[in-house]
Structure 1
């Protein structure tokens, strides 16, 4: 497949270039534009970004492979990143991961046959106080997971609905003056 940016993508990248004294920092947002366009930044997409920015392919590859949020291969429409770091692990992160494997009929790192879901086990997503939790396609967090909450999430995503933002308040301390 030949990858090409749209005129709108190129316009956005040109606009980004004007915000920096040099082009190197534009690598990250240009990779986001590419991922939004193609669903991933495989090596061919990385080459396109490098060519568009007139940067070495090795630089773009280094950036793309450093950050886990950039998908280096095709993924499902919805990528479910289940946190299994210590806080999530202690609160049932592996139980949720195993439940999703059974529910979706795939193992971590795999995509469902219909291309709807990719399931990943990930390191800390920075929401330890809301464990266990997962992230949907580098966007919304779903916190305090239970099997019922997972079932509702999967059905919502299948129906084209994104999870709602979940406001979680911070605990108050009465002895602070």
Structure 2
């Protein structure tokens, strides 16, 4: 497959990441819902999470939950099970329908600011690679804001998810 069509999962940090509570840790605990951001899921041809208006570009959601939940789905997808993932802040869902080594990723939304249905087909390997890259990028973004976040349960869970998914792929 050409690199033009490779799946990408990107997290963009909003300006709020530069304020409480991420910069104040360890004086103030962070929570997973403190880590929200813009989410790009797609390839060069189709961006599943792109809006239809100029008000915003991509879905903004609780990215820590989203990344952790995406990792949790990998074992089921690898077993050929159809699974779904709900965004926490909006009426959107990502569905994963495995077909052998390929996965159909479907974005469904009831929000008028998003298309009701978009889909792409990628390999499981490409999906996991994109998820692994997004996970490390999120960790790097958080640590660039405040290196002490390394000690948080949130960053440790992201690292654990990365390592567990890597082990699944190696089997």
Normalising by structure 2, report the TM-score: 0.26
The one of the two structures with greater contact order (alpha-carbon pairs below 8 A, sep at least 6) is 2
Structure with larger Rg: 1
Normalising by structure 1, report the TM-score: 0.25
Whichever structure has more strand as a proportion of its residues is 2
